[in-house]
Amino acid sequence: MKFQGVLFFPVTPFTADGSLDEERLAQHIDGGVAAGAGGVFVACGTGEFHALTPDEIERATRVAVETTAGRVPVLAAAGGPTLVARDQAARVAQAGADGILLLPPYLVTAPQQGLVRYVEEVTAASELPVIFYQRGTARLTEKTAAEIAALPRVVGLKDGLGDIERMHRIMRAVRAVPGTEDFQFFNGLPTAEVTAPAYQGIGVPLYSSAVFAFAPEIALAFHRALAAGDRPLLDTLLDEFYGPLVQLRDEVPGYAVALVKAGVALRGLDVGGVRAPLVDPAPEHLARLSRLIDHGLEVVGA
């Protein structure tokens, strides 16, 4: 399972009564794939994984699989308590996913060998390939990363820490393990475009784009500019769109998800609000987001 291009992390739409809106999820995913997504990661961080029931994760995965119809790989999340994560892994496999994004254990700070054990036990619950997400309570040493990378079904590591030096050391340790030639690394920071040039510099071109969920035109223009080394366009987008977006995102905890969902609604698809403990953007923040989107589209000529 090799990825190229911009990776799409759809939001999870909810109806007026707060239940999963499968019809709008299908529309959202179909639009993203048609726009040129390189892969769909459903019910993950941007999709409010933390607030979904196991049944909703399974249903969302099934919708994604049916909607993409094999056009791009579909991965879904598992994570949290080990037995819960095992159940989620089995469910998304049953729903037809191509792989799993494995999030960290819940709330505990584990020793390194405990993290290896966690990955071993969850990956044993299905035959699907797994990308491990390093963030929060899961901070790997080079030795642990190499040990996890050597596990039979682990095919990638997504970094949500943002420590470039640490990530580079991890990459070198993993690359020294026989059989990891196709192992893939991902930049998984919020608003990943801001750090994409730095990650590209250490050999990590893949990143998850939350912006793609509501403004694929901007996300794709940035991705093309990064690949082509178009510094003027990169600088303009970073200074006039991504930088101000990050500033807005950081004003309220949880806006890394809530702003994305609001952006999808601003672009014409009513996906509902976010579930607690997140909050929907305030009216003045929505207005700023709307102006940012309009300006970003203008910069890229969309």
Q: Which residues pair with 102 in a beta bridge?
A: 78, 132
Residue 253 burial (C-beta neighbours within 10 Å; 0-12, 13-18, 19+) = exposed
CB contact set of 253 (below 8 Å; sequence gap of 6+): none
Helix (H) or strand (E) holding 13: none
Q: Binding site for pyruvate, residues?
A: 46
**Is 86 in contact with 50 (CB distance < 8 Å)?**
no
| Direct distance between the N- and C-terminal alpha carbons of the chain, in angstroms, rounded to an integer | 32
Contact of 79 with 88, CB cutoff 8 Å: yes
Q: Which of these, 226, 161, 7, lies nearest to 169 by C-alpha position?
A: 161
> Which residue ranges make up the annotated binding site?
46
Tell me if residue 17 falls in helix, strand or coil: coil
Known catalytic residues? 133, 158
What 8-state DSSP symbol labels residue 242? I
Say if CB 171 and CB 202 are below 8 A apart: yes
